[in-house]
């Protein structure tokens, strides 16, 4: 006879065991999900990276590889596409005159969107802070790199890096596309002022700015960002961008392997050793091959041989520019760039097209998932290292660092150390510099004497710079002269004086400030390197009548030999930035000239390219040249010493 009670008991027991097993598994799963290692700051960085990577979908991974411009970013875009990074291009500011507080509010809105995504991965925000956070209104604008190469002061460059980091963080930004460690071999290149020198050794020494920007990691060779007052740095542009034929921007560098590794590569070894977190790939080609598609040098050498652990990022629309015309075959460009080893792509607008194309390339096995995981692993590594998961939101605690007096004092020091004295007195005459502060009447002339935009150069407020005194706060050289001289000295300013004006006034001496207009990238390419008109006419009208010092404001050596005989004193001031008092500190003898030419000053453009060590080396002023005023200042009159 069947015992139904036993059957019922057995059935109930089975159900109880099933329910217990199910709830136990569910409870275990819930506990596992609640303990996400990537959210635990006590876990090792690589453990956190792997945990987060294992949870990500392909769409989320590709989102992390995407960098978009501020103008197309929003809370919804950041959330829905898991965007890894946002940036401001040279023209992309919230609005003219935006304050640090304005920047922070906008960036935090984007960050809130990123944090609202499924996994809550924070984004980082980038800007071209190549000579201070100069795109931002009220920022301290330091001399461009060519001037810092003339200063050759590693401790100074560290301090500038630290000050720049503070001013970048003051606006809520955590990523600076700096330093440029190109070795400019031809001044006809429109980016030559972004290069510290034609000498690879000087460029190597200047990579100490990375310590200022990021902090110094006790463990060499590992990406590092040492706190909320530091930023992600970016060594650029990898590699050979300063050696293009005829100095044409974004064109082809023709060089053998020995030359490449002797001239253009050494600074990258230093940058990696100093913990740089990102490296930007160059628009240019190397021996006919686009660098954005150069797998041998990106993956083979940079990642595998040098063991670089940070992020390799493209330049602005770098994938588009791999073809002529631009964007002729974007799918092929995405394939070539990602397979070459790009980790993050600065699109900066067509992000949905990029994400769709890369998704299809992965799903159809054109790009292996291992390549995607390598890219995302590097991006997440930097984010964890910099503490972005613990402190994703910008605050207002550093807003007073933007344009602070301490930073302006540092910039003024940098100007003093960057100036190079090329001539001081005609043959047979006594030196003109230092100038007396106390005299009857002096003339200040030239297109660049009272123009802060020219003084700062490109990458200031906007991509190509600005053209007046209203877009940023600073001191023009004219105003610096007015504040430097004795109160009894009359300062007469005439931008373009004619001979009659000069001869009809009893000037003791004249200060002429002339040079180049502002420019950036290919807009600055020049095969003539001439001084902006009417600079030459001003020199002729003034210097043939009275004692004159000519201050050249330029991003590189320019044609000056035709005017040398008429000039009494000549100073290369490069692109000094906002602190014009640094120029007058030197002209009036408050400090001694110590700057040395970071690159060769040619006689004629027909000699170019010409660099120190070349077989036929016949410059107007050789590399390393620079006069001093060590003994001259002793002759300053007693009354001036008392005034000072």
27 lies in some domain: no
Same domain, 242 and 191: yes
Average pLDDT over residues 523-547: 97
pLDDT band at 321 (very low <50, low <70, confident <90, very high): very high
Residues 6+ apart with CB under 8 A from 186: 192, 242, 243, 244, 246, 247, 608, 609
What mean pLDDT comes out for the span 372-401? Answer: 98
**Domain span at 517:** 419-621
What pLDDT does residue 21 have?
52
378 plus 450 within the same structural domain: no
Indicate whether 174 and 86 sit together in one domain: yes
Does one domain contain both 278 and 140? yes
Residue 401 lies in a domain: no
Q: Does residue 637 lie in a domain region?
A: no
The band of 30, judged by pLDDT with boundaries at 50, 70 and 90, is very low
- The predicted-structure confidence for 43-92, as pLDDT tens digits, reads as follows 999 999 999 999 999 999 999 999 999 999 999 999 999 999 999 999 99
- Is position 48 within any domain? yes
* Residues 142 and 251 both lie in one domain: yes
User: Which CATH number goes with the domain that contains 60?
Assistant: 3.20.20.300
Q: So which residues are the catalytic ones?
A: 315, 521
**Which of residues 363, 386, 409 is at a domain's end?**
386
Whether residues 381 and 426 share a domain: the answer is: no
pLDDT score of 640: 39
Residue 193, pLDDT above cutoff 80? yes
Helical ranges in 497-643 per DSSP H: 499-503, 535-543, 581-587, 638-643
Residue 242 sits in the same domain as residue 170: yes
Residues 561 and 362: their CA atoms lie apart, in Å, by 59
pLDDT at residue 531, as a whole number: 98
Other CB atoms closer than 10 Å to residue 608's CB: what's the count?
18
Whether pLDDT at 23 is above 60:
no
Question: Average per-residue pLDDT in the chain?
Answer: 94
pLDDT confidence band for 637 (50 / 70 / 90): very low
Strands 289-290 and 285-286: antiparallel
Rounded CA Rg of the chain: 29
Asked if 160 and 142 touch (Cβ cutoff 8 Å), the reply is: yes
Which residue in 58, 57, 76, 77 sits closest to 67, CA to CA?
A: 77
Tally of domains in the chain: 2
pLDDT for residue 317 is more than 70? yes
Confidence of residue 26 (pLDDT cuts 50, 70, 90): very low
Tell whether 91 and 212 lie within a shared domain: yes
Asked if residue 36 belongs to a domain, the reply is no
Of 485, 513, 500, the residue nearest 588 (C-alpha): 485
First to last CA, the chain: 121
609 upstream amide cis, omega within 30 of 0: yes
Do the beta carbons of residue 559 and residue 541 sit within 8 Å?
no
What does the pLDDT look like over 162-189, one tens digit per residue?
A: 999 999 999 999 999 999 999 999 999 9
pLDDT in tens, 416-439: 999 999 999 999 999 999 999 999
Residues 430 and 379 in one domain: no
**Local confidence band at 370 (pLDDT 50, 70, 90 cut-offs):** very high
Which pLDDT band holds residue 3 (cuts at 50, 70, 90)? low
Residue 204 has pLDDT above 70, yes or no: yes
Question: Which one is predicted more confidently, 33 or 621?
Answer: 621
Contacts of 306 (CB under 8 A, 6+ apart): 268, 269, 272
Q: What is the CATH number of the domain that holds 478?
A: 3.40.50.1700
What confidence category does residue 9 fall into, taking pLDDT thresholds of 50, 70 and 90?
low
Chain mean position to CA 630: 34
Closest CA to 484 of 551, 438, 440: 438
Mean per-residue pLDDT, 116-131? 98
DSSP code, position 523: G
Question: Quick one: pLDDT at residue 468?
Answer: 87
**Final residue in a domain of this structure, among 335, 365, 386:** 386
Question: Which residues, in sequence order, are bridge partners of residue 232?
Answer: 175
Distance (Å, rounded) from C-alpha 15 to C-alpha 17? 5
Give residue 35's pLDDT band: very low, low, confident or very high (50, 70, 90).
confident
Residue 298 lies in a domain: yes
Query: Does residue 509 register a pLDDT over 70?
Result: yes
Q: d(Cα 275, Cα 264) in Å, to the nearest integer?
A: 19
**Same domain, yes or no: 442 and 377:** no
Residue 353 lies in a domain: yes
Tell whether 337 and 432 lie within a shared domain: no
Q: What is the mean pLDDT of residues 127-134?
A: 98
Return the residue matching tokens 């001044």. 187
Whole-number pLDDT of residue 15: 54
Contacts of 269 by beta carbon, 8 Å cutoff, 6+ apart: 306
Same domain, 473 and 358: no
Q: What is the pLDDT of residue 630?
A: 79
> Can you tell me whether residue 68 is helix, strand or coil?
strand
Tell me the DSSP string of 609-637: S--TT-SS---SB-TT--B--TTGGGGS-
Place of tokens 């409870």: 27
Q: Is residue 11 in some structural domain?
A: no
Retrieve residue 115's tokens.
């944090």
């Amino acid at each position: 006879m069947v015992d139904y009670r036993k059957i019922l008991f057995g059935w109930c027991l089975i159900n109880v065991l099933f329910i217990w097993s199910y709830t136990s598994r569910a409870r275990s799963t819930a506990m596992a999900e609640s303990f996400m290692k990537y959210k635990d700051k006590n876990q090792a960085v690589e453990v956190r990276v792997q945990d987060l990577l294992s949870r990500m979908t392909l769409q989320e991974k590709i989102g992390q590889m995407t960098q978009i411009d501020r103008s197309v970013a929003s809370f919804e875009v950041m959330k829905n596409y898991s965007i890894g990074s946002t940036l401001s291009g040279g023209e992309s500011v919230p609005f003219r005159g935006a304050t640090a507080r304005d920047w922070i509010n906008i960036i935090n809105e984007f960050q809130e969107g990123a944090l609202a995504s499924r996994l809550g991965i924070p984004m980082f925000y980038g800007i071209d802070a190549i000579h201070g956070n100069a795109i931002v209104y009220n920022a301290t604008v330091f001399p461009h790199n060519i001037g810092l190469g003339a200063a050759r002061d590693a401790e100074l460059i560290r301090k500038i890096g630290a000050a720049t980091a503070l001013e970048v963080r003051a606006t809520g930004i955590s990523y600076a596309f700096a330093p440029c460690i190109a070795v400019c071999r031809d001044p006809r290149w429109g980016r030559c002022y972004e290069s510290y020198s034609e000498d690879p050794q000087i460029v190597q020494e200047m990579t100490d700015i990375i310590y200022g920007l990021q902090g110094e990691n006790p463990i060499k060779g590992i990406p590092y960002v040492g706190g909320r007052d530091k930023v992600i740095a970016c060594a650029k542009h990898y590699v050979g961008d300063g050696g293009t034929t005829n100095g044409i921007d974004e064109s082809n560098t023709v060089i053998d392997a020995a030359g490449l590794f002797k001239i253009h590569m050494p600074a990258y070894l230093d940058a990696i050793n100093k913990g740089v977190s990102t490296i930007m790939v160059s628009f240019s080609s190397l021996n006919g091959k686009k660098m954005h598609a150069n797998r041998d040098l990106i993956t083979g050498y940079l990642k595998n041989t040098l063991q670089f652990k940070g992020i390799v990022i493209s330049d602005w629309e770098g994938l588009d520019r791999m073809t002529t015309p631009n964007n002729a075959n974007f799918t092929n460009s995405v394939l070539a760039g990602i397979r070459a080893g790009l980790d993050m792509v600065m699109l900066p607008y067509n992000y949905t097209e990029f994400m769709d194309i890369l998704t299809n390339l992965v799903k159809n096995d054109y790009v292996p998932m291992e390549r995607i995981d390598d890219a995302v692993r590097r991006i997440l590594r930097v984010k964890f290292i910099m503490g972005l998961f613990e402190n994703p939101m910008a605050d207002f605690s550093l807003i007073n660092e933007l344009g602070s007096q301490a930073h302006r004092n540092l910039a003024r020091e940098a100007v003093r150390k960057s100036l190079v004295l090329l001539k001081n007195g005609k043959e047979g005459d006594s030196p003109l510099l230092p100038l007396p502060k106390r005299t009857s009447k002096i003339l200040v002339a030239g297109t660049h004497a009272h123009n802060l935009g020219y003084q700062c150069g490109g990458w200031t407020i906007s991509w190509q710079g600005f053209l007046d005194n209203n877009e940023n706060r600073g001191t023009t050289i004219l105003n610096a002269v007015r504040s430097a001289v004795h109160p009894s000295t009359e300062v007469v300013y005439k931008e373009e004086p004619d001979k009659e004006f000069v001869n009809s006034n009893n000037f003791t001496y004249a200060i002429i400030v002339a040079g180049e207009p502002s420019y950036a990238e290919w807009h600055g390419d020049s095969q003539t390197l001439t001084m902006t008109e009417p600079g030459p006419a001003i020199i002729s009208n003034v210097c043939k009548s009275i004692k004159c010092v000519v201050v050249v404001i330029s991003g590189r050596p320019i044609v000056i030999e035709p005017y040398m005989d008429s000039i009494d004193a000549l100073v290369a001031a490069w692109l000094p930035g906002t602190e014009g008092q640094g120029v007058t500190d030197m002209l009036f003898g408050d400090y001694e000239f110590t700057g040395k030419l970071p690159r060769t000053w040619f006689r004629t453009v027909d000699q170019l390219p010409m660099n120190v060590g070349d077989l036929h080396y016949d410059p107007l002023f050789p590399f390393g040249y620079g006069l001093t005023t060590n003994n001259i200042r002793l002759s300053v009159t007693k009354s001036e010493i008392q005034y000072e």
